[in-house]
Amino acid sequence: MNADDAVPEPHDVPEPHDVDDAVGDRTDGDADVDDSSVPLLAVDDLKTAFRTERGTVRAVDGVTFNLERGHTLGVVGESGSGKTVLSRSIMGLLPTHNIVRSGSVRFEGVEMTGLKASELRQFWGPQMAMVFQDPMTSLNPVLRIGKQITESLRTHLDVSRSYADETAVNLLRSVGIPEPERRMKEYPHQLSGGMRQRVTIAVALACGPKLLFADEPTTALDVTVQAQILDLLDEQQRERYMAMILVTHDLGVVAGRADEIAVMYAGRVVERAPTRTLFSELRMPYTEALVRSIPRLANRSHTRLPRDRRTTTRPRLASSRMSVRAAVRLRTGPLPRGGATASDRRCAGSRVPLLVSGRYARRGRRAGAQPSRGRYGRRGGLNGRERDSAPPQRRRATPARRESRCRVSRRAVGTHRARRVRCEPRRARGRDARARG
């Protein structure tokens, strides 16, 4: 998509792009936007932060990319990495209070960030639309399906009721709903999950948007239905020459469908590359970890995913198993730069945010490593580290240890220099050990 992405050499990292700046200059003050050299969507250093009681959480932290008409960008990342907030922030759907948003979002050269709510509404529907994650909750339970499709038509396109109804029936048919006339009069609860997601796609497509956000459109669905929905999105996208931002936590979903993939972690795009390049040359250890966490069809059933602590447990620790306080601290803390190992150096420029490693933090301390290295440098590296360093003396993972919880020590949080994370085994461990011993 982007000119410089053709050269995969330094994998794209979310530093401000010169290319984008150039685009920015060109679009100054042109209202007739049908200039084909202007990308459909240009996001430049977009930041979105939530003000919370415990500090500012940077959910999206300096994201830059361009998206051309008809192309698909896959945004991949774990829960809490900021994928959803990114898509909502681009669209301008987030509430205004307690949110700090900066950077620029240009849609066909029109700057969207400063627009009033009423002006933004003109974009929502005919220009850009969104398919939400959970079709069970994203349709209004008390309104008929027909109504939910036609109302955006009636709002934006100023068409008669009968024309809107006709259009809605055609839409339903095109998204693969049998007996569309009958379904029009039904309520969401009368449809299955897959059907509902088809309906939400029809709702999103109603006004013929140029850009479609698909926010984990298949996460809430049955596996057998997932492929159908993705194919449907694909097909509609090609038919309409629509750009799409496909947000997912599953690399498998975007692998065959996106032109380009952006991997997000902690609000940043840590790696971005054309799909083929991304998979053929895994650069970023975090991406590698994500790739490795895709279950393989060739494996026997009940095969466990490779248990790599730093790839499987660490991201989770950083996002969901830590207390809010700790997570906020981490997100707001200074970002790591540089590092000791080869993989760390590779990622040095990408400013990988803090990841928490109980074991490494502990080991580092014991080994008398310098605190700054031990905490930031090592943590920055993720699983790349494993290959580069001598295999650490692994202790056998006892069940108790597996359950050990990571906590930010209160004392450490208080001090400036340390956002030290300590791994504290459950209380029960001692007892277990004794019982076993």
Q: Which of 3, 33, 143, 397 binds another protein (CB under 8 A)?
A: 143
Contact flag: residue 398 with another protein (CB under 8 A): no
Residue 224 is which amino acid?
T
Contact flag: residue 150 with another protein (CB under 8 A): no
Q: Please, what is the minimum distance in Å from the beta carbon of residue 311 to another protein?
A: 31
Would you say 326 and 421 are in contact if contact means Cβ atoms under 8 Å apart? yes
Half-sphere exposure of 328 (CA within 13 A, CB side): 12
Write out the binding residues for another protein, residues 108-137 only, by CB under 8 A: 117, 121-126, 129-130, 132-134, 137
Q: Residue 176 CB: number of other CB atoms within 10 A?
A: 17
Contact flag: residue 372 with another protein (CB under 8 A): no
Q: Please, what is the minimum distance in Å from the beta carbon of residue 213 to another protein?
A: 8
The dihedral sign for the CA sequence 396, 399, 403, 404: negative
Would you say 202 and 135 are in contact if contact means Cβ atoms under 8 Å apart? no
Q: Which of 79, 140, 192, 280 binds another protein (CB under 8 A)?
A: 140
Q: Please, what is the minimum distance in Å from the beta carbon of residue 89 to another protein?
A: 13
Q: Which of 24, 47, 68, 93 binds another protein (CB under 8 A)?
A: 93
Q: Please, what is the minimum distance in Å from the beta carbon of residue 265 to another protein?
A: 25
Count of residues that interact with another protein, criterion CB under 8 A: 34
Report the alpha-carbon distance of residue 206 to residue 356 in Å, rounded: 44
Nearest to 314 by CA among 204, 201, 406: 406
Contact flag: residue 139 with another protein (CB under 8 A): yes
What does DSSP assign to residue 396? P
Contact flag: residue 107 with another protein (CB under 8 A): no
Would you say 240 and 211 are in contact if contact means Cβ atoms under 8 Å apart? no
Q: Which of 66, 138, 197, 383 binds another protein (CB under 8 A)?
A: 138
For 293, the 3-state DSSP assignment is coil
Report the alpha-carbon distance of residue 280 to residue 60 in Å, rounded: 27
Nearer to another protein, 187 or 279 (CB): 187
Part in contact with another protein (CB under 8 A); list of ranges 102-110, 149-157, 267-275, 381-389:
149-157
Contact flag: residue 277 with another protein (CB under 8 A): no
284 token code pair:
């970023």
364 token code pair:
């580092």
Q: Please, what is the minimum distance in Å from the beta carbon of residue 60 to another protein?
A: 17
Nearer to another protein, 121 or 431 (CB): 121
Q: Which of 6, 7, 142, 223 binds another protein (CB under 8 A)?
A: 142
Q: Please, what is the minimum distance in Å from the beta carbon of residue 115 to another protein?
A: 12
For 27, the 3-state DSSP assignment is coil
Q: Which of 189, 276, 426, 431 binds another protein (CB under 8 A)?
A: 189
Q: Which residue has the tokens 């609860």?
A: 189
H/E element holding 75? strand 72-77
Nearest to 329 by CA among 409, 268, 425: 409
Contact flag: residue 81 with another protein (CB under 8 A): no
Contact flag: residue 151 with another protein (CB under 8 A): yes
Helices (H), 138-268: 145-157, 161-174, 180-184, 193-205, 223-240, 251-255
Write out the binding residues for another protein, residues 191-250 only, by CB under 8 A: 200, 203-204, 206-207
C-alpha distances in angstroms, 161 versus 121, 153, 165, 184, 410? 21, 9, 6, 13, 62
- Residues in contact with another protein by CB under 8 A are 91, 93, 97, 117, 121-126, 129-130, 132-134, 137-143, 151-152, 155-156, 187, 189-190, 200, 203-204, 206-207
